[in-house]
Amino acid sequence: MFFIGIFGIESKEKAIGSLQNFTCKSCTSNNAKIIKHYNYFHFFFIPIFKWGEEYIVLCDECNSIYSIPKEKGKAFELGKEEISYWDLKPLQIKELPFACPTCGKETESSFDFCPYCGNPLNK
């Protein structure tokens, strides 16, 4: 937030909807939120104009972040269009931990054998 007397500039994030048929590129989640991020100029806390709009998809399970084209985000906000797998551009993908198939404990994917149970790790 930046103020110059009675004027100011702020950033805002607003959840505009959720995706039920979403397919995350890094996990098996089917749910995500669409968030609109923008900056705005205000006078006495009354928004005058906004700029820098961008739409972000946030996976509910692994918190991976994707951007979508501005046109698709505006159309989704108006209820005119759905977001597809091909519209997602990865901004931050969370790596899921590698787990031993035998004991289920998290290990490093570079190991050949599980340090907990000693069984071979299938890669």
Ranges of each domain in the chain:
2-92, 96-123
Return the pLDDT at 95.
60
H-helix segments, 13-69: none
Q: How far apart are CA 62 and CA 27, in angstroms?
A: 7
| CB-CB contact of 20 with 82 (8 Å) | no
Cβ neighbours around 100 below 10 Å, total? 20
pTM over 0.95: no
Q: Residue 96 has what pLDDT? A: 56
Answer positive or negative: Cα dihedral of 77, 35, 13, 36: negative
pLDDT value of position 55? 94
DSSP single-letter state for residue 86: G
CA end-to-end distance (rounded Å), the chain:
48
The pLDDT score that the predictor gives to residue 53 is: 92
Spans in the chain with pLDDT lower than 50:
none
Instruction: Give me the pLDDT at residue 5, please.
Output: 62
Q: Closest by alpha carbon to 36, among 10, 51, 54, 52? A: 54
* Mean per-residue pLDDT over the chain, rounded: 83
Q: What distance in Å separates the CA atoms of residue 7 and residue 113, rounded to the nearest whole number?
A: 62
Q: How far apart are CA 9 and CA 121, in angstroms?
A: 53
Which amino acid would we find at residue 46? I
